[in-house]
Amino acid sequence: MRCAVLALVFALGCGHPRSNPRAGDAGVATDLGVGTDGAAAEDEGVIAADGSAADGASADGGSELEPVSVVACDAIETRPTAVQASASGGFSPNVVTVTTGAVVRFTNLDAFTHTVTSINPEMLEPMMDGIFNETLPANGTLCLRFNTAGSYPFYCAIHTSMRGSVVVSNPTP
């Protein structure tokens, strides 16, 4: 029963304010095809209280950027901020500070997989908050673009002692 409850909490985005808005706001469709308020949801045309649509577009027809997005590492035009990951050394550096729109490149130094998973900092134990949960392949790389200012704590869901944070600020004029 506890596993089913945890699965439901993850599916609904944990109710954290920074959680995926398409899965945590009342009346918005979830992957289960039912709004979080219990009403059936259509695939399109569902509008959240904040004006965003369930398909990621804004209600006025524009599109809204996700707070964090995966980008192809070889398509980056500027030098990304580098973070290395290893089971013996964790994430290094474990805190990086960037401006909105910046890319952080995670490099796995190990011959086994890690994850880069955002967490709710208010929880005693790490719990995914729905912003990002990406696989960092063995001896591979992962690039994430941080589109929204804020603090994004993360950990490796496989090796939970590996933790870090990306602090994103708006550029100064």
**64 is written with which tokens?**
């809204």
Give yes or no: residues 127 and 147 share one domain.
Answer: yes
* Mean of the per-residue pLDDT values of the chain: 72
pLDDT in tens, 40-96: 333 333 333 333 333 444 444 445 789 999 999 998 888 999 999 999 999 999 999
CA neighbor of 48 nearest in space, from 77, 79, 70, 26: 26
Q: Is there a single domain that holds both residue 74 and residue 141?
A: yes
Residue 9 phi, psi dihedral angles, 5° rounding = -60, -45
Q: Is the pTM of this model over 0.85?
A: no
Question: What ranges make up the beta strands (E) of the chain?
Answer: 68-71, 81-86, 90-92, 95-99, 102-108, 114-119, 128-136, 141-146, 150-155, 163-169
Query: What range defines the domain where residue 127 resides?
Result: 68-169
pLDDT at position 42 is 37
Residues 4, 82 within the same domain: no
Same-domain status, 90 and 161: yes
Say what the pLDDT of residue 136 is. Answer: 97
144 and 86 belong to one structural domain = yes
Write down which residue in 64, 82, 117 finishes a domain.
64
Task: Give the pLDDT band (50/70/90) at residue 124.
Answer: low
Query: Are 88 and 163 in a shared domain?
Result: yes
pLDDT for the residue numbered 18? 37
Model pLDDT, residue 101: 95
Say if residue 73 is in the same domain as residue 156.
Answer: yes
- Clarify whether residues 100 and 160 are in a common domain: yes
Could you tell me if 159 and 82 lie in one domain?
yes
Instruction: Identify the pLDDT of residue 172.
Output: 85
pLDDT in tens, 139-162: 999 999 999 999 999 999 999 999
49 lies in the same domain as 90: no
